[in-house]
Structure 1
Amino acid sequence: MRDLRPLTVDRVPDLAGDFALCTFWQTVPHNGHVLARAPEEVLRDWVHEVTADWGPPGRIAYVDGMPAGNVLLAPARHVPRLAAFPTAPSDPSTLMLLTVRVNADQQGRGLRKVLVQAAVKEALRHRVRAIDVIAARPLAVSRHPCVLEAAFLENVGFRVTRDHPVYPRLRLDLRTVVTVREEAAAAVRKVLAKVPGLRPVPDTRPDGVTPARTAHRP
């Protein structure tokens, strides 16, 4: 059974899974020096800072009650490592997908796509128009495990918005995602409208909108 929960300070240890805690995006390059602070401390402070400014910076997936993967996202102003990439966005409010990680026993089960979908839902909740991500192409010989591969992102709908032979920036236009979803719903309603014995009835949403749906006549 899968359960997606917001990333909170108390859940930072659950980010590890099959990996060590990753502080790649939350820190600047060390230039060979050892990080003075423990990774868990760095991540706790980062989660607290982002949550206070924007909201929970990700989701953790639990399978049968155990941490199985996670997705991290945050506005660019909270991602220090972006300064090391030539394709980093200039707008500090740009929402960045940082990483999507799943445990080895969940590989090939679709959990990575589920986590990307969770990031999309979070972005839409914040009324964000797009999600950007710095990705790595095969030429990135020493790709850090917390940098997502471009091929995976393109498979789930991201498109290159600023090209680079090694580290392009990709974008998922959420206006397109919403449009596709609305068009699909409209197509279903159109088909159901032709079914004898069905009629539209009001379906009130939390925002007060009452679109038509279908129901059997009494």
Structure 2
Amino acid sequence: MDGPVARVTKREVRVLTPDRVKDLLGTCAPCTYWQTVPHNGHRPDPDPLTLLADWVRDVTDDWGPPGRIVYVEGAPVGHVIIAPARHVPRLAAFAAGPSDPSTLMLVTAAATSASRGRGLPKALLQAAAKDALRHKSRSLDAIGARPLALGHHPCIPEAAALEGAGFRIEREHPTYPRLRLDLRNALTLRDEAAEMLSRALARVPKVHPVPETPHPDGATRARVRDGR
């Protein structure tokens, strides 16, 4: 008698398009933290999905699709979002933010817990690296949070987790340094390093307006630079 037939699951990696922002999933549900700046209540936030769709459209027109979504049997199981710094308005709130608007930034990456053990985090980051290399980018930057950054927004990964995934300090800061990953290294990223980064980047709130805070740690950028 023949033994049981192993079921082969079909995994597809698709580009992030405006109509697919609804598939950004799990604890990393659609969030507009990096795509917006605080406005102190002077105007209401648009619907997050609408804002994200418009953002994806703008980045695509200027640079190209800003990420990838992975589907298994047609259901989304993970995603990664990258974009040039000029399309990440929240960076203006960070003293260590890049001065070059073309600097490529890692915005978010997440995978469902059920898919992490199947190499999905590694596949996501490698897909992002290949996209970036096609655009002649040799590195990928990210803002990380140090332990001194108390109560930081959950969209900001811990710097230690980024370093564990192969990122290195590009510009130091006591609370929010900027780190950089050599994209050639990302293509050979270890599974455990990708898993660590995926977990660090997955702690994003459910869909809701961005909290009204003038700066991630409650201070203006000028005060951070002055050390006050």
- Normalising by structure 2, we get a TM-score of 0.71
User: What is the aligned partner in structure 2 of residue 119 from structure 1?
Assistant: 128
**Structure 1 residue 116: deviation in Å?**
1.4
User: What is the aligned partner in structure 2 of residue 63 from structure 1?
Assistant: 72
Is 1:163 aligned with 2:172? yes
Structure 1: give runs of 5+ residues left out of the alignment: 182-218
Please tell me whether the aligned partners of residues 25 and 77 of structure 2 are also in contact (alpha carbons under 8 angstroms): no
**Structure 1 residue 20: deviation in Å?**
3.4
Which amino acid letter does the alignment assign opposite residue 11 of structure 1?
R
User: Structure 1 residue aligned with 2:155, among 146, 149, 153?
Assistant: 146
SS state at 1:72 partner? strand
**Using a 3 Å threshold, how does the CA distance of structure 1 residues 33 and 145 change in structure 2: closer, same or farther?**
farther
Distance across 2 between alignment mates of 1:112 and 1:138: 25
**Using a 3 Å threshold, how does the CA distance of structure 1 residues 177 and 106 change in structure 2: closer, same or farther?**
closer
Q: Deviations over 1:104-135 (max 9, x none)?
A: 43345542232111111111111112111111
User: What is the aligned partner in structure 2 of residue 52 from structure 1?
Assistant: 61
Structure 2: give runs of 5+ residues left out of the alignment: 1-8, 190-228
Please tell me whether the aligned partners of residues 29 and 84 of structure 1 are also in contact (alpha carbons under 8 angstroms): no
SS state at 1:153 partner? helix
Identity %: 61
Aligned pair count? 180
**Structure 1 residue 45: deviation in Å?**
0.5
Deviates further, 148-157 or 64-73: 148-157
Distance across 2 between alignment mates of 1:176 and 1:103: 24
User: Structure 1 residue aligned with 2:51, among 42, 45, 54?
Assistant: 42
Please tell me whether the aligned partners of residues 18 and 104 of structure 1 are also in contact (alpha carbons under 8 angstroms): no
Deviates further, 104-113 or 157-166: 104-113
User: Structure 1 residue aligned with 2:18, among 9, 21, 34?
Assistant: 9
**Using a 3 Å threshold, how does the CA distance of structure 1 residues 48 and 72 change in structure 2: closer, same or farther?**
same
Distance across 2 between alignment mates of 1:101 and 1:33: 32
Please tell me whether the aligned partners of residues 100 and 148 of structure 1 are also in contact (alpha carbons under 8 angstroms): no
Please tell me whether the aligned partners of residues 170 and 178 of structure 2 are also in contact (alpha carbons under 8 angstroms): yes
Which amino acid letter does the alignment assign opposite residue 25 of structure 1?
W
User: Structure 1 residue aligned with 2:97, among 65, 88, 91?
Assistant: 88
User: What is the aligned partner in structure 2 of residue 23 from structure 1?
Assistant: 32
Which amino acid letter does the alignment assign opposite residue 131 of structure 1?
L
Distance across 1 between alignment mates of 2:29 and 2:80: 15
Please tell me whether the aligned partners of residues 62 and 69 of structure 1 are also in contact (alpha carbons under 8 angstroms): yes
Which amino acid letter does the alignment assign opposite residue 166 of structure 1?
T
SS state at 1:90 partner? coil
User: What is the aligned partner in structure 2 of residue 135 from structure 1?
Assistant: 144
**Using a 3 Å threshold, how does the CA distance of structure 1 residues 32 and 165 change in structure 2: closer, same or farther?**
farther
**Structure 1 residue 92: deviation in Å?**
0.4
**Structure 1 residue 148: deviation in Å?**
2.2
**Structure 1 residue 140: deviation in Å?**
2.9
Distance across 1 between alignment mates of 2:140 and 2:154: 20
What's the C-alpha RMSD, in Å, of the aligned pairs? 2.3
- Normalising by structure 1, we get a TM-score of 0.74
**Structure 1 residue 11: deviation in Å?**
0.6
| Greater relative contact order structure (CA < 8 Å, 6+ sep) | 2
SS state at 2:131 partner? helix
**Using a 3 Å threshold, how does the CA distance of structure 1 residues 102 and 162 change in structure 2: closer, same or farther?**
same
Is 1:74 aligned with 2:83? yes
